[in-house]
A = this chain, B = another copy of it.
Amino acid sequence: MSDERYEVVPIGEVESPLTDAATAPKQGFEGSPEAWLVFDPALLEGLDGIAPGDEVILLTWLHRADRDVLRVHPRDDVSNPMQGVFNTRSADRPNPIGLHQVQIVSIDGGRMLVRNLEALNGTPIVDVKPVLKRA
């Protein structure tokens, strides 16, 4: 196995009323407020074709995570038996990449208003992808 490392360069940042991990929803569909995705102006061309109403997959870098954790109680609930982090959506994991399916509400230049995002204010955005529909 190669021991190469790779560098993630954020493409934008989340602006959200959510600031506290302990009280934020654990999943986007569990009552998240609307939030803004604010993109690096140099990369706006890359967003061409995305339109209000679209469901997209957002990848974030969960920068407050503990990267040394390998086992957790799912949903921070000690009554849930310990699991490997790769069998959970815990933010604590070796590469803390957040995966979120959100819906675009509106677009204003390099800012997109979305619903169903549980990421905290200031979370770096690392990628956006369309939801695939099988033919």
Which residues from chain B contact A46 at a C-beta distance below 8 Å? 70-71, 84-86, 93-94
Q: A94-B11, A97-B97, A134-B29 are in contact. Are A70 and B45 (CB under 8 A)?
A: yes
Nearest-neighbour CB distance to chain B for A107, whole angstroms, equals 12
Nearest-neighbour CB distance to chain B for A70, whole angstroms, equals 4
Q: How large is the interface on A (under 10, 10 to 19, 20 to 34, 35 or more residues)?
A: 35 or more
- Which of A9, A124, A129 is packed against the most chain B CB atoms within 10 Å? A129
Q: Are A84 and B47 in contact (CB under 8 A)?
A: yes
Q: What is the CA–CA distance of A123 and B85 in the complex, to the nearest angstrom?
A: 21
Q: Are A27 and B132 in contact (CB under 8 A)?
A: yes
A88 at the interface (CB under 8 A from B): yes
Which residues from chain B contact A61 at a C-beta distance below 8 Å? 6
Which residues from chain B contact A45 at a C-beta distance below 8 Å? 70-71, 84
Extra A-B contacts (6), CB below 8 Å, given A1-B13, A5-B9, A7-B8: A1-B10, A6-B8, A6-B124, A9-B94, A88-B129, A88-B130
